């Protein structure tokens, strides 16, 4: 696994149970995150955030158990 993929995976592991929905994180690691989702190491969930009467769609990324095992091994 490349350095950038491992770094993205580590940041998601450090994010805890709620994962990470930071658009700057997602933009910085987009190619790596897409690969990690494809490989089953990261899970993506859609969120609808409501503020000021408007709904905004967001993606929350979370490390999977397989991703944690990859970091450990």
Name every residue whose Cβ is closer than 8 Å to that of residue 15 and which is 6 or more positions away in sequence: 62, 63
pLDDT band of 53, cuts 50, 70, 90: confident
Q: Please tell me the pTM assigned to this model.
A: 0.83
The whole-number pLDDT of residue 39 equals 97
Over residues 20-25, mean pLDDT: 90
| Cβ–Cβ < 8 Å for 55, 13 | no
User: What rounded mean pLDDT belongs to the chain?
Assistant: 91
Q: Domains for the chain: give ranges and CATH numbers.
A: 3-72 (1.10.10.10)
The whole-number pLDDT of residue 48 equals 75
Residue 47, pLDDT above cutoff 80: no
pLDDT band of 14, cuts 50, 70, 90: very high
Distance CA 60, CA 53 (A): 21
Token pair in block for residue 37: 């989702």
């Amino acid at each position: 696994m490349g350095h950038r993929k491992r770094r993205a995976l580590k940041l998601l592991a450090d994010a805890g149970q709620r994962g990470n929905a930071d658009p700057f994180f997602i933009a910085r690691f987009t190619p790596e995150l897409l690969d990690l989702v494809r490989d089953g190491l990261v899970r993506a969930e859609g969120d609808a955030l409501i503020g000021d009467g408007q709904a905004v769609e967001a993606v929350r990324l979370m490390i999977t158990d397989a991703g944690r095992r990859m970091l450990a091994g």
